[in-house]
Amino acid sequence: MSVCGCFVTSWRCLVVLSLRLLFLVPAGVPVQSGDTSPFNRVMDNLTVRQGDIVLLRCAIDNQMMRTAWLNRSTILFAGRDKWTLDERVSLQTYNNREYTIKINNVQVQDEGLYTCAVQTNLNPRTTNVHLIVQGTVKKLLWL
C-alpha cells in the first residue's frame, strides 16, 4: 500500500501503520512488559497433521486496547475484523481473557510463524508460535 493510498484509505490504514510500529522489535526477541504474566512467554512449536483443525490461543487481560493475529507479516485478524480472505481461518474466541483463531483443514503452506499482538495502556506485547504441518504420505499400490 502506498503512502498516498494511506491518506485516502479509511481507518484500516491507521491499524496497519499501528501494527507495523508495534513490530519494530527485532525478530526473535520476545517483548518484555515488566510483568511476569504467562502472556510474555514464547510459545513452543505446534505440530499438526495436514487436514487437521488447529486452535491458536493467546492469553490477554482487561488492559488490552487492540489485538491482532498475524501469519508472518500478513494480518489475519485485527480485533474482531477478519483481514484474510482464507475461509478456513476464523475467530474462535475473543473476550477479556483469550483471543483464539481456528484454522480448518490445515495445509503445508499454513506452516510458519504466527504472532498474537496486544496493545495495552502501558506497552505492546507479543506471543509467537511456530506451526509445523506434517504432510500426508500417499501409499502406492503395486498390482
The per-residue pLDDT of the chain, averaged, comes to 76
Topology of 3-134 in CATH? Immunoglobulin-like (2.60.40)
What's the pLDDT at 35?
A: 38
Query: Where are the extended beta strands (E) located within the chain?
Result: 46-49, 54-56, 64-71, 74-78, 81-82, 89-94, 99-103, 112-120, 124-134
This prediction's pTM: 0.67
What's the pLDDT at 57?
A: 93
Give per-residue pLDDT as tens, 77-135.
Answer: 999 999 999 999 999 999 988 999 999 999 999 999 999 999 887 788 888 999 999 98
